Amino acid sequence: MTRRKTGAHSMNRMILGAFLTLVLVGVGLFWWQGRAEVEQAAPPPVEQPAKPSPEDLPTTAATDLRGPAPPEATELTREEERFFRYDRNRDRRITRNEMLSTRSDAFRKLDKDGNNLLDFEEWAVATAQRFDKADANRNRELDLAEFATTAPKPAKRKPACRC
């Protein structure tokens, strides 16, 4: 009796497998046919316009322009660029608030727990002391010469390997 059940069971599996194969083939054919119809209804490809020749481009003479002349860019030294990162209002003086305001991103990176408590106070004290040390004439503002004293020390370069 066990053989008959096994044989019938095997036959059922074969029929089920054949049925599922036919279903998958039918789904594949419908998908393939639907895809072909979509491609047939697609618009034709757009032709790319030819590149204009240099003679076709509009030109203008600088003498025909009206309005104020554009400002001239001056070359800044590395120290002047660093100075103006702090001097927000461009009055060529750095106040204590300007010096502290540019450090907020650096503080956020240092504040690992995000509580803005003791870590900020320690940071503010260190920055204020650095400012006071650079403010040689004690007028609570840094001019360009005083600010230059706050430049970070250059990193020591390792000698290149001469292997």
The secondary structure element, H or E, covering residue 101 is helix 96-101
The pLDDT of residue 79 is above 70: yes
Q: How far apart are CA 82 and CA 147, in angstroms?
A: 9
Q: How far apart are CA 66 and CA 51, in angstroms?
A: 31
pLDDT at 77: 84
Q: Tens digits of per-residue pLDDT, 89-133?
A: 889 999 988 888 877 776 666 675 677 765 567 777 778 888 999
Q: What mean pLDDT, rounded, does the chain reach? A: 77
pLDDT at 138: 93
What is the 3 state secondary structure string of 140-162? CEECHHHHHCCCCCCCCCCCCCC
pLDDT at 38: 61
The pLDDT of residue 84 is above 70: yes
Q: Tens digits of per-residue pLDDT, 20-67?
A: 999 998 888 877 777 666 666 666 767 776 776 766 666 666 666 677
Q: Which residues contact 123 (CB under 8 A, 6 or more apart)?
A: 103, 107, 110
pLDDT at 135: 94
pLDDT at 117: 63
Residue 93: closest CA among 141, 135, 139, 132 = 141
